[in-house]
């Protein structure tokens, strides 16, 4: 094999995507699709609100501030894992440290999943 052939083989091997990069690429594509879907939903809902003759801009800013406040309060609620005693968000189903199922009896917003 000549030096040029060897260099071509090495470049080919270097350019092959790894399984991890393929998985990451698929995850990025899925997230981009979700983002596009959420953008379409948001724009559609905004159009519905505008058609209903509601004062949109001021109301929307006020509602956004409320949502930010409520999310911060929900994020601050913690539950302690019974197995490893680590603190987790109440919205988590399983402990990030040991994998134990977490028990939280309070209400969890559907937007926190």
Structure tokens at 59: 């109301």
Reported as a single tens digit per residue, the pLDDT across 7-60 is: 665 555 556 778 888 898 999 999 999 999 888 988 888 788 778 776 666 777
Q: What is the pTM of this model?
A: 0.49
Task: Give start and end residues of each alpha helix (H) in the chain.
Answer: 3-15, 19-51, 56-76
The answer, yes or no, to whether residue 100 has pLDDT greater than 60, is: yes
Q: Which residue has the tokens 């919205």?
A: 91
Structure tokens at 83: 């197995």
CA-based radius of gyration for the chain: 24
Instruction: Give yes or no for a contact between 81 and 88, defined as CB atoms under 8 angstroms apart.
Output: yes
For 37, the 3-state DSSP assignment is helix
């Amino acid at each position: 094999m000549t030096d040029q052939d060897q260099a071509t083989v090495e470049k080919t091997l270097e350019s092959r995507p790894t399984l991890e990069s393929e998985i990451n690429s698929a995850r990025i594509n899925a997230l981009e699709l979700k983002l596009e879907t959420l953008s379409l939903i948001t724009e559609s809902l905004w159009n519905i609100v505008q058609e209903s003759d509601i004062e949109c801009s001021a109301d929307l800013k006020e509602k956004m501030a409320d949502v930010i406040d409520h999310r911060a309060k929900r994020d601050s609620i913690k539950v302690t894992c019974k197995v490893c005693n680590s603190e987790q968000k109440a919205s988590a189903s399983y402990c990030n440290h040991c994998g134990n199922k977490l028990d939280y009896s309070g209400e969890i917003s559907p937007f926190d999943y």
